[in-house]
Amino acid sequence: MRRTGPAARSALPAAALAGALLLAGCSGTADTEPPGSTSAKVNPTSARATPTWAPVTGTPQVIPAVRDFRRADGRGWRPSKGARVVVPAGEKSNVADEAQRMAQDLGLAVVYGDQTVQPGDIEVKITGKNGAQQANNVPVQSAADEAYTLTADGTRLTLTAPTDAGIFYGTRTVKQAVHAAGGLPEGTIEDRPGRPQRGMSLDNARKPFTQDWIEARIREIADLKLNQFQLHFSDDQGFRIQSDTHPEIVSADHLTKAQIRQIVALARSLHISVVPELDSPGHLGAVLKHYPDLQLRRASGSVVPGAIDISNPKAAPLIDSLLKEMSELFTNPEGAPAYWHLGGDEYQALLSSTPATTYPQLTRAARQKYGPNGTLRDLATGWLNDRQKTVEAKGKNRIEAWNDGFFSSPRVSADKNRMVDYWTGKEAGHRDPAEFLREGRNVMNFNDEYLYYVLGEPNQFVYPTGQRIYESWTPLVIRGTQPVAVPANLTGPDRIPGARFAIWCDRSQAQTAAQVAAGIRLPLAALAQKTWDPRTPALSWTGFKALADRV
């Protein structure tokens, strides 16, 4: 059953809003509509007097910081009594929901159509050639689609963007600026992200999190202009989503399909793409508990925990049936980027120094499929290639896997359209990220030196801090602490699209869900800043942390 959670739109706290309106101190005709009203007209014949307030000074106070601000003379903009959000494109336009959300955040009314923009109002307009024709809340293809412009001029505020995603990010800037400084200073903001993919990954398999907790984090990252949420829902410790095809594998504490649909719908409404991850051929302990005949065994007969025997002809049909069922659950708008993560990491057989004698069944299968020189790596690569075909047949077109699931071989190579999610270079045999970039692959940054929040801090992991990310990391620091050593033309947003901050629950009881939320707050803010703007931040860490506490 759906748990009661926080409101779908978090309004500005009453005390903060009251303070903003008190500062505005405006006179004139007051609206009688409640905050967030969607009436077509609000006192259409009454001209509102120009509100008065103390000037908003300095630069816009938001996280991530805006890329460009051109200051002008004037008092700036603050939310004021009777002010409205004006949507000329109308109530059926694809920016209506963004306008409504901003109105709800600020305690304003919304009006549609041919309206005179009055003092104190915010006007919201799509400017791109195709923006008005795009389906509502469709994930964008590039960072350019996420740009927006905000102009505070003569007590009015104008928000324009080529897409509704850009409009949404503009609304987040307004919301944060009001929280931090009461409003926006006079002038024009031109803003856009540096990297098109920016997000958070959650291990919901080892430690189950509630729908409410997940949705709260989705709202949090949306306000930071992050646009991806990866959900790792299956591992040795649990399979956390309802399955109708294999109900026996589902953990007692799990999310129902209805809850997943609600999470996906919320994420889409906030311009966040969900990246589901069903890891294989390792990390399958929760599934294999019910299929012991498919567990990988050594020649000695001992079981390899969590690993499926990819030489067994029954293995692929089992995993494919789960991939098909889950793919249908995580829906995507037609024509939009549709993500799927195959996992591929830490298949223990690949770490053996004597694979032919330790896993003779895998060696036989590799030679049968790839010839007398076929190897276990070939077999593992072929396994992921086949799983990719399964999810692509279900409409997924943005496929990812962990970097330790990619190998060099003259016989079989990973599908060229699969992105490398690079998390570590510490384990034996891991390839340098430079190799992937030189061979033409795109690389997502999951650098475990900075971006891995591992509960209980096992295996020499330490909890990452926002300060370290803010001061020392960039999207080019993929492995270790130094930028990847390749020419600049291989490090642009087309090749290193961005980064995700990953929460892993190896020692699930080490922190409560509330402690996790508190621990990741500043690291997420720092990640948002460093993926949005490639320049050295203007604020010191102390200043940035203080701002994060305000917004």
Stated pTM of the model: 0.92
In order of 180, 373, 390, 522, 533, the CA distances from 546 in angstroms are 10, 60, 48, 11, 19
Q: Which residue has better confidence, 160 or 136?
A: 160
Which residue of the set 346, 427, 449, 471 is catalytic? 346
Sequence-distant (≥ 6) Cβ neighbours of residue 488 within 8 angstroms: none
Question: What's the confidence (pLDDT) of residue 142?
Answer: 83
Tens of pLDDT, residues 189-207: 999 999 999 999 999 999 9
* pLDDT band for position 429 (cuts 50, 70, 90): low
Query: Checking DSSP bridges between strand 68-71 and strand 187-191, what pairing results, if any?
Result: antiparallel
pLDDT digits (tens, 9 = 90+) for 358-377: 999 999 999 999 999 999 99
Contact predicate 263/307, CB 8 Å: no
Q: Which domains does the chain have, with CATH numbers?
A: 68-191 (3.30.379.10), 197-549 (3.20.20.80)
- Binned at pLDDT 50, 70 and 90, residue 427 comes out as low
Three-state DSSP at 504 gives strand
What's the rounded mean pLDDT across residues 475-487? 97
Looking at residue 135, its pLDDT comes to 72
Tell me, letter by letter, the H, E, C secondary structure of 302-369. Answer: CEEEEEECCCCCCHHHHHHHHHHHHHHHCCCCCCCCCEEEEECCCCHHHHCCCHHHHCHHHHHHHHHH
Residue 346 appears among annotated catalytic residues: yes
More confident residue, 128 or 512: 512
Mean pLDDT across 318-329: 98
Chain centroid to Cα 489, Å, comes to: 25
Q: What is the pLDDT of residue 12?
A: 42
- Is residue 484 within 8 Å of residue 476, measured between CB atoms? yes
Q: In what order do the strands lie in the sheet with 84-87?
A: 68-71, 187-191, 148-153, 156-161, 122-126, 84-87, 109-112
Q: What pLDDT sits at residue 265? A: 97
The answer to whether the beta carbons of residues 361 and 276 sit under 8 Å apart is no
User: Would you state the pLDDT for residue 211?
Assistant: 98
With a CB cutoff of 8 Å and minimum separation 6, the contacts of 515 are none
Give pLDDT, residue 143: 87
pLDDT at 150 over 90: yes
pLDDT for the residue numbered 428: 56
Q: Of all residues in the chain, what percent are helix, strand and coil, respectively (each to 5)?
A: 35, 20, 50
CA distance 404 to 433: 11
Reported as a single tens digit per residue, the pLDDT across 6-44 is: 333 334 444 444 444 444 444 333 333 444 444 444 444
- Lowest mean pLDDT segment, chosen from 250-259, 322-331, 349-358: 349-358
Mean pLDDT calculated for residue range 225-247? 98
pLDDT of residue 174: 98
Report how far Cα 248 is from the mean position of its chain's Cα atoms: 31
pLDDT (0 to 100) of residue 131: 54
